[in-house]
Every structure is written in C-alpha cells, then in structure tokens.
Chain A
Amino acid sequence: TPRKDIVPHISVRRTPCKTPSKILEHARARLHVSAVPDSLPCREHEFADIYTFVKSKILDGTGGCMYISGVPGTGKTATVTEVMSFLRKEVDEDKDFPEFTLVEMNGMKLTEPHQAFVQILKALTGQKATAEHSSQLLDKYFTSAAGRKQPIVLLVDELDLLWTRKQGVLYSIFDWPSRPKARLIVLAIANTMDLPERIMMNRISSRLGLTRMTFQPYTFKQLQSIVQSRLEGLQAFEPDAIQLAARKVAAVSGDARRALDICRRATELAETAQPTGKGKGPLVGMKHVDRALAEMFSSPKIVAMRQASRQEQIFLRAIATEFKMSGLEEAPFEKVLIQHISICRLEGLHPPVVSEVVAVCRRLASCRLILLESSTNELQQRIRLNVSQDDVMYALRDHGE
C-alpha cells in the first residue's frame, strides 16, 4: 500500500524555539527531565553491571536475559539507554567489536500484548504482519538464523503489561534467547521486584534466569548530586535549597523526576518573584523551594473544606457528628439529614429542604470530600468521609461566618 512509506510528522514551526538567555532559563532547560545527561550520576555501579553483562554476551555470541526492576524515576530506562549508546560508540571505534542490532519496545505503548510481535518483526525485518503471523515468523527467524550474523539486543520496557492469561508473549520473549542460534539478549524492565515469581508461570521464570538487578530509590545525597550535576557551572541555586528539595523527595519516594520538577518549579517562582533577574549570586532560595514543595505535595482538601459554602460545611459537620454518635465510619443519608437540620436550627439558619441537602451532598461527593455508595435510593444512601474526622474538625474550627 502507498501508506507504508509515509513518515508521519507534525507541521514545522514558524519560528524556531528560543534558546535560553538568562541564568534561570538555562537552569530550567537543564533541569527539565528530558535533558538527560551523557552520563548518569550515582548509577555507575548499575551501569557497569549491565554493560559487562551485555558486552560479554555480545562477545561470546550467546544469548541471555536480564531482569531489571525498581520504582519509577530511579533511572532504569536512562541507564540502559546509556549502556546501549556506549556500546554503539564502542562498535564505531573498535573494529573488532561485533555490530549488534538494538530493538526497543515499551509495553505501555502497545494497545495489546500480542502487538509486541508485530513491533519486533517490524524493527528486525521491516515486514508488517498480523500478530499471529509475526509470532510464527519470529519463531522461524530465531531458530534458523540463516544469513544473519549480528547479535540482537531486545529492550523491553514495562514488562508487566505484556502479561496475558496464557502468558504466550512473555514465554516467547524469554524462550528465544535459549535457542542455540538466536544470539538474542533480552533486557526486561519493570517496577516490581518479585514480578517473575508473582505473575509468571514456572517455566517462564526459569527461563528468565537469575540475572536480576534492582535499582534502589535515590537517597537524598544522590538526589542532591543529580541536581547539582545538572546545574554545574550555573550559579542559580542556593545549596541549601537543593538539599531541602532532595531531602523531601527522598523521604517520600526517591523519584528523581519529582526532585527535578520541584527545582524547575522553584526557578519559575523565583523568576516571578524578581522579574528583573540581574543574574548575580544565587537566585533560587529556600523559600522558593519551600513554596514549590507545598504546591506539589500538600493536599488541597483542607482548603477545599474551608472554602466550601456554609451549608456544605454544616453537612460535613453533620456527618462527623453522626459518626461520633453511632461510632461507625458510615452513615445513611437520612440520619445525616436529621443532624444537618438540627445544626441549622442551632445556628439560627432556615433549614434547607431535602432536595437542597441532596444537592449539597452530591456536590461534596463530586469533588470527593465524601464518598457515596452508588445507589438510586437517596435516603438510604450510605455516606463515608474521604478525609479524616480530625481534618474536618480542624478545617471547620472557628470558621463560622
């Protein structure tokens, strides 16, 4: 078909992207998650492990699997890509180093697990076929190895999404490397450490083997050095500000993306705080990082309760009172309604009619301050709080108009 040759593209922009000119703009461009540095700091050990594994397999001309796990944002994909570009460089420099083919795949970018076959086949041979047909072709491709000398490195990201009930896709991927002529090296990346034991059948996890690697979440020192290495040669941050961001992120998740996002937001806040931006001395201070942290980590629920209308606040109080009286964490609408009306009487307000209270309840449920059981029966509908009772009391304390 003629469509096969089309290289899709987005229309070209009229004016090129502006390059950063001020210090803070430079800092922001470098702090962007997409600006991956040439060598990742604090992952040298993992880099060496993966590098020696892949290199030895390529040099031996054998195949093998490696399973790499770790929580999101710990640099798994970045490290593996770095290893690949390093090997690629070695191929260019060293004549004796054998050429290899790299096939990259991401489970999240497939609509369905069996599409993996289609993508691998397309990357290897440029052929386009249905999932079933590609699976057969690939089987043949890896058993015969006719007229093919290069080893293949297959990089599978988000492995857990290739799981199916029969696990056919996973089985094939880990079975190919064990074929004598395949010369296939599989690097599988996923989040959970015990994925092979948890979801895979025995015959798959045994094929996966024991070459495993776990990426630990970054500690605060590592996060700090990551941010510092990106800002090398730029006097944009106070060192304490970086440390604050690093410590906070390390305490919560150890996700490098979060630390970079916070620092990037802090540069924006610093820029709006002093629009002149003379570029002298450290510009982003503790207070900017602190505000960025508050923006990203704090829960808006207490503010939402404070900003709710009077009747909405009374309804929340009615729920809390009803819980206290019954000792349960759940109450039917009917009971809360009675509490609501008595609180209104106590406060000297005209009690609203049932339809209005229902509307108030629905509004609170739509922003998930309370949880409603899905039922068409209004009066018996069960209500739960989505915030703790103490938070309700704290938010509504001394807040009557």
Chain B
Amino acid sequence: MPKRRRESEFGLSTLEKVQQTLRRRVCRIEIPPKEIIEENLKEQRQHLVDLISRCAIRGEGNSALVTGPHGSGKTMLVSSVLSEIEANPRVSKNLLIVRLNGLLQTDDKIAIEEITRQLRLDNVVGDKVFGSFAENLAFLLEALKSGSDSAQSILFVLEEFDLFAYHKNQTLLYNLFDICQSAQTPIAVVGITRRLDVVELLEKRVKSRFSHRHIHVFNSLTFPAYKEACQRMLTLPSAVGDAKFVKRWNQSIETLCSNSTVHDVLKKAHQLDKSICGLQSLLLLPICRVSDDHPEIQPVDLLESSKHLAADSKAAMLHGISVLQLSLVIGMKHLTELNDGDPFNFEMVYNEYLKFVQRKAHVVQCFEKPVVLKAFEHLVALEIVKAVDGHGSRTQKEYRAMSLLVTPAQLMDVLNTHPGCPSELKHWASNPLPS
C-alpha cells in the first residue's frame, strides 16, 4: 500500500513537471534552442550575430531593423542572439546592452533617463537620475563623445521601434544613428518593429543616417512544417525524468499528430494564422487539461481548444440577451436593410417593434415604452448598437442616430441556437413585416 501511494505521487510529480516544461514553451518564457531558430532564420540570425559581434570586437558602429508581422519571432530572434553573445566572453566583456521599449519609454525624456540609468553614468545615484532633460541629453552625448574607441561598445535594442519615430523631432533616433555613423563610442542600434513601412516614418536626416539594414522575418511555415512544429512543441526532452514515461508520452504525441481530426484542426489554424504564436495559444488549453485522470492529450482537446479560439464574440454576447432585446435587434436589422445601411433612431425601432407585437400579441408580450427604452440602452451598453460618429450628446437619446454592429448572418445564426427564442421571432427575422 505505501509503495503504491509513492508511485502515484511520483506519477503526479512527473505530470507536473511535464506541464511545467510544456507551459514554459507555450507561454514564451523560454527561448527555443539555436538549432530550431536556425532552421528557418539562419541567414537573419547570422547577420545579427555578425553585426553585434563586429560592434563589440572591432568597434564598428551599425544600425539595423528587424521587421516582420506579429508573432513571427522577432523578439525571440534577438534574444536568442543576445544569449549567444552573452555566452561568448570575448564579446560580452566589451559590450553593454541597453534595452528600450517604445511602449514604456513614451517620450525622449524618459528614454534618455532610462539610458543613463542602464549605462550607470555619473549623474545616476541609486535609481535616480539627476538634472533636467536638456542637461541629461547633453550629459549623455558628452559621455558618448568622450570615449572614442577605448570605451566599451554599447548595443541599443529598441523594441516597438515605430513608436520612437513618433517622438518630438525624433531627437533620440537622430542622436543614436548619428553616433553610429561618427567616430565616437562604438554603438549598434537594433530596432524591432512590425510595421513594414517604418523607414517612411523617419525624417529625411534621420533616414539618411540609418544604415538601411533590414532583417525581415516572416511567418514562412508551410503546413507540413507547421505540423512538425506542433509535434516538436509537445514532445518532451529526455531530461524530464522517468524515461519510460517520456517514451510513452512522446509516442502518444506521435499518434496524436497523425490523427485526422488533429490534422483538420491544425490545417484550419494554419490557414487562419501561420505564426507560431497562434499555434501556442491553440496548444495552451490541451496542455492545461493534462491531469491525473487525463494523462494524455486527446484529439478532442485540440478540437475543443480550436472551437474556443474560433468563438464569435458578438454571437456569444447575443446569446445572453432577452427576447425583448432580441426582437429589437431584429427590428434594427430590418431597418438597416430597408434603408440601405442608413442609421436609425430609437423611435423607428420602437415603431417596428410595435408593428410586430400588435400582429403577434398572443406570442410576445407587449412592453411599455420606458421598458423598451431601457432594453435599448442595455444594447447600447453592450455595443451591439452604437451611436453614429458625430451624432453625440446634443440630441435627445430617442432621436440619436444609431447603427447596428451585428451582421444579418450573425443574427440568424444566433436565432437558430438561442435558448427559448419563440419561433415567431425567427419567422419575423427572415421575413420582414409588410408595411
């Protein structure tokens, strides 16, 4: 008896370990190993490694931009390069790294304070930076000018680079690029952005100083590669523990990936979004489902997860509204179709509602006008209807121009699945009342 208990405990901890490993992968806490990145991005990675190490070893100033759509692994690429660089003592002891993010450093003042703090310059005491903005900038430029090739190289990593281009006069970018291109402290600037037209945002003189090195990263996975990536992401390394368990798990993953349901789910996900990020969010739910009673990932889990991700938010919201509100929405749909997309107001909707209720009074209860207005306002709060731009606060709320934010197809889908929707309502939805 005690032996069996220990075994079960052991099993549990293995599963916990499995979950931990897989979650770290899926939630992007861990940088995937170099080989996996090199499979698709060998050239780009080599370019970055060369660029940074040349800056560190030879003191050559450089600037480059990493561009690519969301989830294509720009940040991953850069952090993988940085971790390799840091492991190389020849490079790392001559290189200081300054990381900035356009979402945090929203103007040059904050950015320059952050740079002086990360470089630990002399006007920094503890975590405080002293001096006015102008003094800080002058101080920083002075510091960067004073050390020519005897100073340590500095690598600036600017995430969300496009946001830096919105700073006033682009002072920070000008100065960074200018130092790159003049014989001062050797620095390299690596910008990360998803905007493909980011260079057009730069001012002429800033653009001229940028060395126009573009490193493009795309979501270039074909479907077989995508499927393989899925399998690799779920496959455990042998280090997790119990060799037998790992072997069994990996076998189960292999059968999972050859399943036809899984194939369909992955195909659909790949058609929608080729990025690894999309795959990761698809796999998160199945991984979290793994437990003692459910020690293996089943195809059903993936199917369910894909359904979760594909849920239509508007339809889900419509499921929760009352029959009165539903009939208002149907009235609005008819009004929109009748008027060819022109906006409507509450009075028109109420009129439409009255027409319906008077004919079918035995099915649907007729509510007072204030009650209907309240229901209407509830719909506004849910943003199922919205006031047309520019027709705001001045008009009375009954006469405010509104437009419907639900497509007819969405509404019909909801009516077919809505619990307790009277059939008269469905009928009305497909056939407008003769006026």
Contacts and interface: CB of A to CB of B under 8 A. Distances in A.
Given A18-B58, A28-B60, A309-B273, A110 B182 contact: no
Contacts of A401: 223
B283 interface: no
Contacts of B141: 109
A53 to B, nearest CB: 24
B331 interface: no
Given A17-B149, A109-B141, A367-B194, A72 B214 contact: no
Contacts of B314: 354-355
A319 B121 CA distance: 53
Given A111-B134, A355-B314, A6 B122 contact: yes
Nearest to A253: B208
B50 interface: yes
Contacts of B406: 379
A72 B204 contact: yes
| A8, A257, A261, A301: most-surrounded residue (chain B CB, <10 A) | A8
B271 interface: yes
A34 B181 CA distance: 5
Nearest to A15: B94
A138 interface: no
Contacts of A258: 208, 212
A135 interface: no
A169 interface: no
Interface stretch (B9-17, B150-158, B363-371): B150-158
A8 B122 contact: yes
A32 interface: yes
A399 interface: no
Interface residues of A, number: 83
B46 A272 contact: yes
Interface stretch (A176-184, A224-232, A236-244, A345-353): A345-353
A304 B218 contact: yes
Given A10-B154, A20-B58, 9 more contacts: A29-B60, A108-B178, A300-B67, A355-B312, A360-B272, A360-B273, A366-B69, A367-B69, A368-B196
Interface of B: 46, 50, 57-61, 67-70, 90, 93-94, 96, 108-109, 119, 121-123, 130-131, 133-134, 137-144, 146-147, 149-154, 169, 171, 174-175, 178, 181-186, 194-197, 204-205, 207-209, 211-214, 216, 218-220, 223, 268, 270-274, 310-315, 341, 383, 386, 389, 403, 405-407, 409-410
Interface of A: 3, 6-18, 20, 25, 28-29, 32-36, 71-73, 108-112, 115, 118-119, 158, 161, 191, 253, 255, 257-258, 261, 264-265, 268, 272, 295-296, 299-301, 303-304, 307-311, 334, 337, 341, 349-350, 352-356, 359-360, 363, 366-369, 375-380, 386, 401
